[in-house]
Amino acid sequence: MSDISLQETTYEAGMGDYFALLKPRVMSLVVFTALVGLLVAPFPVHPFIGFVSILCIAVGAGASGALNMWWDADIDARMKRTAGRPIPSGRVEPGEALAIGLGLSGFSIVLLALATNFLAAFLLAFTIFFYAVVYSMWLKRSTPQNIVIGGAAGAFPPMIGWAVATGAVSIESTLMFALIFMWTPPHFWALALFVKSDYGNAGVPMLTETHGRDTTRRHVLIYTLLLVPVSLGLGFTSIGGPVYLAVASVMNLWFLKGAYDIWRRDDAACEADKHKVEIAVFKVSLYYLFLHFGALLLEAILRQYGISGW
């Protein structure tokens, strides 16, 4: 015997594979909304503590993403969009994803509690629980309304940001939560109307497949109508102001018109123009949320100079 060599039998995961478990694209929305929640609060936070808080919220969101991928590996393997994720493609072991998910959850919650307060840490823990257990394990496979209730998980970050600064839950943070919560269904269903999904093959009930596309179109309109009072109501709280109300009014009219256009259409019209309206409304929904939170941030900056606000 004169030589030692190792045989390559399995793929070894790199840092990028582990990072992909944290769903970085979802994290970016979480970071933005949590940051706005933190910055619009009436009490200033030390920049470093603010940075650590946002990092904890992002890592907590990533951890819940890893737990979701661990639980849903069987579904992900059966759908084209998700078959390339780290677990179904064999790059990361399911046990590793579970360990990373649990480890990062504990890390982010404890660090947030130590850096800020227990309410913020509790809200982060509840968000992770809600996404991993209530949404992933329970609702996703059992009801076509999964996206409605599961959307709450994505709505918590601004409330956590607010709790970091104030140590409390208030009407302002509740309305920021409600804004994302009510926005999620029309945003997601507009997407579901034009993306050819294979949720049915994976056994996941989606409104477009369980109740048909007409029902989904009606739901988009109803939820958009319910979204309007939440969006405008936020404008009359202490974090709102004329600039926010102006932005919100324009965006609500735009989104409502899109939802109405979707509602009036049928499958033939969709096929004829290759889902042009649905794609446009989906894009509007992205601007809708971004500009709402952007306007809240702008109000906070203007208030500092005594210009806007009530």
Partner 1 sequence: MAIKVEHELHERRRGRNLGVGLLLIGFIAIIFGLTVVKVLQLGDTAEFERFDHVARPQIVPQEEADQ
Query: Which residues contribute to the site for partner 1 (CB under 8 A)?
Result: 2-6, 8, 12-15, 18, 46, 48-49, 52, 55, 111, 114-115
Work out how close the CB of 120 gets to partner 1 at its nearest, in angstroms, rounded to a whole number: 14
Work out how close the CB of 170 gets to partner 1 at its nearest, in angstroms, rounded to a whole number: 23
Work out how close the CB of 54 gets to partner 1 at its nearest, in angstroms, rounded to a whole number: 12
Work out how close the CB of 52 gets to partner 1 at its nearest, in angstroms, rounded to a whole number: 6
Q: Which of 121/175 has CB closer to partner 1? A: 121
| C-beta of residue 209 within 8 angstroms of C-beta of residue 293 | no
Work out how close the CB of 165 gets to partner 1 at its nearest, in angstroms, rounded to a whole number: 14
Q: Which of 4/268 has CB closer to partner 1? A: 4
Q: Which of 164/206 has CB closer to partner 1? A: 164
**Interatomic CA distance for residues 148 and 153, integer angstroms:** 10
Q: 3-state class of 191 per DSSP?
A: helix
**Interatomic CA distance for residues 310 and 71, integer angstroms:** 47
Q: Which of 111/175 has CB closer to partner 1? A: 111
- The structure tokens listed for 122 are 């509790």
Q: Which of 9/268 has CB closer to partner 1? A: 9
Work out how close the CB of 57 gets to partner 1 at its nearest, in angstroms, rounded to a whole number: 14
Work out how close the CB of 132 gets to partner 1 at its nearest, in angstroms, rounded to a whole number: 22
**Interatomic CA distance for residues 75 and 138, integer angstroms:** 14
Q: Work out whether the CA dihedral 285, 290, 292, 295 comes out positive or negative.
A: negative
| C-beta of residue 197 within 8 angstroms of C-beta of residue 206 | yes
Q: Which of 45/176 has CB closer to partner 1? A: 45
Amino acid, res. 308: S
Residue 31: exposure state from Cβ atoms within 10 A (0-12, 13-18, ≥19): middle
Q: What secondary structure does DSSP assign to 109-175, as a single string?
A: HHHHHHHS-HHHHHHHHHHHHIIIIIIIIIITTT-TTHHHHHHHHHHHHHHHHHHHHHSS--HHHHH
Q: CB 12: neighbour CB atoms within 10 A?
A: 7
CA dist 295 to 94, 248, 253, 292, Å? 41, 8, 16, 5
Work out how close the CB of 103 gets to partner 1 at its nearest, in angstroms, rounded to a whole number: 12
Q: Which of 114/253 has CB closer to partner 1? A: 114
Q: Which of 53/252 has CB closer to partner 1? A: 53
